[in-house]
């Protein structure tokens, strides 16, 4: 960690405001009603947990939550390309409207893999909400329905995103550089 430098990219205030907008958009797309399927947000651990917690408080209908533990980075700043499911869902998603909540979409490889697994479980619908999107790095076609911010090809930390398990507790998002 010595020699790391954090350059501010997105302030806590901008994040909060954008999440309020995303919550309103999800609420509009999934209105409450007797004949509506259950709405479940599935967070990809560990990075999405703060985004997910703030996002569900902005959705105007009841939602359930589950988590999926997936890893492709290890201790590096670059994806290894090897995807590992570390924790599976605890509830079935058949017939459920699912919004998959991700902290950041980079190459799209991990998210494509996860979406393929979830589609095999027959949800009523499956959409993606991501706090951050790096479309310049995409190698697999992924089209999130809800995007917080599009960012440049930089390694970022804060607001749940980490480097070697550090910096998740920052309320803003910063670019991690070397001094």
One of 97, 103, 106, 133 is an active-site residue; which one?
106
| Distances from the Cα of 158 to the Cα of 33, 92, 94, 105, 155, angstroms | 36, 31, 34, 15, 11
pTM for this model (two decimals) = 0.90
Q: Establish how many alpha carbons lie within 13 A of residue 150's alpha carbon, considering only the half-sphere containing its beta carbon.
A: 7
H/E element holding 45? Answer: strand 39-45
Q: What is the pLDDT of residues 135-172, one digit of tens each?
A: 998 999 999 999 999 999 999 999 999 888 889 999 99
Q: What is the pLDDT of residues 1-36, one digit of tens each?
A: 544 689 999 999 999 999 999 999 999 999 988 888
Please tell me the predicted confidence (pLDDT) of residue 2. 47
Please tell me the predicted confidence (pLDDT) of residue 152. 94
Nearest to 42 by CA among 107, 109, 96, 112: 96
Give the domains, in start order, of the chain with CATH numbers.
Answer: 12-152 (3.40.50.2020)
Nearest to 135 by CA among 105, 175, 165: 105
**97 labelled catalytic:** no
Q: What is the pLDDT of residues 72-110, one digit of tens each?
A: 655 555 555 677 888 999 999 999 999 999 999 999 998
């Amino acid at each position: 960690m010595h020699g790391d430098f954090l350059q501010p990219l997105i302030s806590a205030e901008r994040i909060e405001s954008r999440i309020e907008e995303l919550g309103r958009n999800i609420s509009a797309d999934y209105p409450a009603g007797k004949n509506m399927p259950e709405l479940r947000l599935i967070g990809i651990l560990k990075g999405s947990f703060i985004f997910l917690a703030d996002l569900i408080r902005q959705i105007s209908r009841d939602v359930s939550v589950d988590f999926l533990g997936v890893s492709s980075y290890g201790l590096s700043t670059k994806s290894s390309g090897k995807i590992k499911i570390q924790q599976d869902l605890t509830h079935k998603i058949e017939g459920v409207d699912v919004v998959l909540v991700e902290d950041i979409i980079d190459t799209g490889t991990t998210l494509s893999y996860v979406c393929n697994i979830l589609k095999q479980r027959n949800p009523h619908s499956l959409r993606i909400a991501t706090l951050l999107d790096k479309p310049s790095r995409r190698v697999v076609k992924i089209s999130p329905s809800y995007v917080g911010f599009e960012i440049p090809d930089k390694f970022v930390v804060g607001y749940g995103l980490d480097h070697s398990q550090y910096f998740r507790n920052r309320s803003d998002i910063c670019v991690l550089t070397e001094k």
